[in-house]
Amino acid sequence: MKQRPQQVQRMIESRSIFGHGFLALIALLVIAALMSGSLRALVLVVLVLIIGFSLGLLLGRRRESVTGGETALDTPSSGLNSSHFSARFLDSALKEMREGLLVIDADMRVVASNRAARNLFSDLNDVIDSRRLTELTRNPAIYDAFLDAVRGKERTGVKVETYGQERRVFDLRVVPLRSTNGHGSGGAVGVFFDVTRLERLEIIRQEFLSNVSHELRTPLTSIRALAETLENGAIEDHQNNRRFLFIIQKNADRMHRLIDDILELSAIEAGNVKVKPEIIQLHPLVEDVIASLSASAVARKITVDDLVDRKAEVFADPHRLLQMLTNLVDNAIKFNREGGTVTIRHESDRADRIRVEDSGEGIPAHHLDRLFERFYRVDRARSRELGGTGLGLAIVKHLARAHGGEVIVESRFGEGSQFTIELPHNITMKATASATLNV
């Protein structure tokens, strides 16, 4: 093989060094962009990539002119045209971006966009390049942000809402582009960050804090008022002082249950509660639930029927299943008619289903979709009177899902309610456990 000219060899080495340096620059820019959250930094990364690949710094040209002649060089391009590769690379990168990228010129026409941006204007069948921005949207927030950027003003934190099949919220950030001669505007680059989920979580957080403060304030107000009454002389009122102390204790217990449920639910939602499913006998567990709630059932003259087969088995964490069933049966007793019935059944086909049925007043249909939300109550006054925290069903929902299952409610107003815990089978684990038990 003919040895390469020394000049060519030096060129290859220079290119290799420069290429590695360019890769290092890209890495540093990406890290800086992610750390700073700056749109300018993100745009700079894109521009450097465009320049770098266009010049062939990473892949090299297929041929180099050396000392007036053409000498073929072996490069990582493997015969691919670097410009063609650059275009494909950038197109692929833009397509995979979750954020919508929109580039307009000084005349407010779209000159470049990616798939995420085109999805924002889906009624246009993905054809948005070369169209004026006013043809794409009537949303004044979008138009004003790009117009300001074209005039040289960077815009960040612009809230954009879209209403299609579902409401979506975007944080739009737009920066101006200078013209090639450095004078005047060359257009603008805008990035749409989808913050729908973040906004939804923020709303949930605010509602949660509002509900917690309200739920704690109610018993605290009662405790404080009664304590002041006792302090002002009622402690000597032997006919009422014990009643006041009983109410204080009742409200303190309510706060304790509320705090316990909040901590429990927070731990479950954070994934800090690990379920440890195993093959368990269902009937003894149901009997334990009934025994623990017998005093409440007797007080309201409620009959609790256990129709679970004595040989029934389920694959679940025994402690967590006990917790779920206790919550459901407790509710079925509390919100039942005096002298009513509660029935517990088990079915097994594609999954194990444990049903808790009551003969109460039922739940109006418009409440069913929100029944498992935190602090949601059909009858707030009655729930507080009965000592409910408003978190029991939310805990049941999350524990069922932690098992890979679900909890379902069916109810008709005036005809009672039925709550079903649905748990998946684990055939392999069941077979293994049964074999172990039979040894």
| Pair (369, 409) in one structural domain | yes
Q: Which of 236, 269, 302 is the last residue before a domain boundary?
A: 269
Please choose, from the candidates 184, 191, 181, the residue with its C-alpha nearest in 3D space to the C-alpha of residue 160. Answer: 191
Per-residue pLDDT of the chain (439 residues), as tens digits, is: 444 555 545 444 444 444 444 444 454 454 445 444 455 555 555 555 544 544 444 444 444 444 344 334 344 444 445 555 555 666 666 677 788 888 888 888 988 888 888 888 765 556 777 888 888 888 888 989 999 988 888 888 888 887 767 788 899 999 988 776 666 677 898 999 989 888 888 877 787 777 778 778 878 888 888 888 888 888 888 888 888 888 888 888 888 888 888 888 888 877 788 889 999 999 999 999 999 999 999 999 999 999 999 999 999 999 999 999 999 999 999 989 999 999 999 999 889 999 999 998 888 888 888 888 887 777 665 555 555 677 889 999 999 999 999 999 999 888 899 999 999 987 544 443 443 333 3
Let me know whether 118 and 240 are in one domain. no
- Measured between alpha carbons, how far is residue 318 from residues 139, 315, 400 in Å? 54, 9, 12
In this structure, the answer to whether residues 254 and 160 fall within a common structural domain is no
Q: Around Cβ 174, how many Cβ atoms within 10 Å?
A: 25
Same domain, 227 and 120: no
CA-based radius of gyration for the chain: 34
Q: Which domain holds residue 146?
A: 98-194
Q: The dihedral of CA 255, 260, 266, 269: what is its sign?
A: negative
Do 206 and 237 belong to one domain? yes
Last residue of some domain: 62, 95, 128? Answer: 95
User: Domain holding 396: CATH number?
Assistant: 3.30.565.10
- Do 146 and 131 have their domain in common? yes
Question: Is the same domain home to 147 and 290?
Answer: no
Packed helices 318-334 and 282-292: angle between N→C axes, nearest 10 degrees: 40
> Does one domain contain both 23 and 168?
no
Whether 115 is covered by a domain: the verdict is yes
Both 314 and 428 in a single domain? yes
343 and 396 assigned to the same domain: yes
For residue 357, being part of any structural domain is answered with yes
Count of beta carbons in the 10 Å neighbourhood of residue 315: 22
- Whether residue 412 sits in one domain with residue 322: yes
In a domain, 386, yes or no: yes
Cβ contacts of 215 within 8 Å, gap of 6 or more: 258, 375, 389, 390
Instruction: Give domain status of residue 439, yes or no.
Output: no
